[in-house]
Amino acid sequence: MTIKVLIADDHKLFRQGLIGLMKTREDFVEVVGEAETGEEAIQMAEKLNPDVILMDIYMPQMDGLQAAKEIRARFPQIAIVMLTSSERDGHLYEAVQLGVSGYLLKSLDATELFDLLSGVIKGETAMTRTMAGKLLKAVANRLADEEKGEQPLTERELFVLRLVASGASNQAIAQKLSISINTVKSHLKNILEKLHLENRTQAATYAFKHGLISPREK
């Protein structure tokens, strides 16, 4: 059985690198398409019906988590593996909550990649021991936040909050993150709701108070 893979990543060189690795095992895996944005990933998932999508977290217009949520809702038969270049666990809990099949670093080698795909097709969850440990920590932090009545911010929301606190406008934030202004507004709305705040000023104050940004950065 050949595993059909869709690669969703906005970095062409990374996509080419993955394709090069997979061509060494054409008897095992076939790259059926490439997407540069989350929106393209959704469109190609519908058109190509891949077995697995290797999805970058950070992409312009619509990030990987938003795309994964949409794909999981519309095409639950497709396995999604989130790829990240950072070991920070800001998105780990959120990704697992979405029901993704794996969460891995982009630095994985060929052997790890093929073992991952083999396991995912069998219904296994692909995650390194380090990431599994981070997941347990993330779950503990989430439970602690829920006891305090606060919902934790995602890594992207934290980034938006820091930019807001530094005085950046919605347009500036959109340009910085390569997303639409409406997406920025959606992130800001979620931030205010999660932290029980009413406006940008209160959000900036919260960021300073909790050490998310120093006055020098403003």
Chain centre to alpha carbon of residue 135 = 14
pTM for this prediction: 0.64
CATH number of the domain enclosing 171: 1.10.10.10
Residue 77 lies inside a defined structural domain of this protein: yes
The confidence score (pLDDT) of residue 5 equals 96
- What pLDDT sits at residue 217? 41
Q: Specify whether 134 is located in the same domain as 167.
A: no
Q: What is the pLDDT of residue 62?
A: 84
Q: Are residues 39 and 127 both part of a single domain?
A: yes
Same domain, residue pair 169 and 73:
no
What pLDDT sits at residue 216? 40
Q: Any long-range contacts for 157-163 (C-beta under 8 Å, 24+ apart)? A: 157/187, 157/190, 157/191, 157/194, 158/90, 158/212, 160/184, 160/187, 160/188, 160/191, 161/191, 161/203, 161/206, 161/207, 161/212, 162/207, 162/212, 162/213, 162/217
User: What residue type is assigned to position 48 of the chain?
Assistant: L
Which residues fall within 8 angstroms of residue 6, CB to CB, at 6 or more apart?
Answer: 31, 32, 33, 34, 35, 41, 44, 45, 48, 50, 52, 53, 54
Q: What is the DSSP string of 68-90?
A: HHHHHHH-TTSEEEEEES----T
Range of the domain at 43: 3-140
Beta bridge partners of 127: 103
**Residue 160 domain-assigned?**
yes
pLDDT tens, residue order, the chain (218 aa)? 799 999 999 999 999 999 999 999 999 999 999 999 999 999 999 999 999 999 998 887 788 888 999 999 999 999 999 888 766 555 666 777 778 888 888 888 888 888 888 889 888 877 766 666 666 565 556 655 555 555 678 878 888 998 998 888 999 999 888 888 899 999 999 998 888 888 888 888 888 877 666 444 44
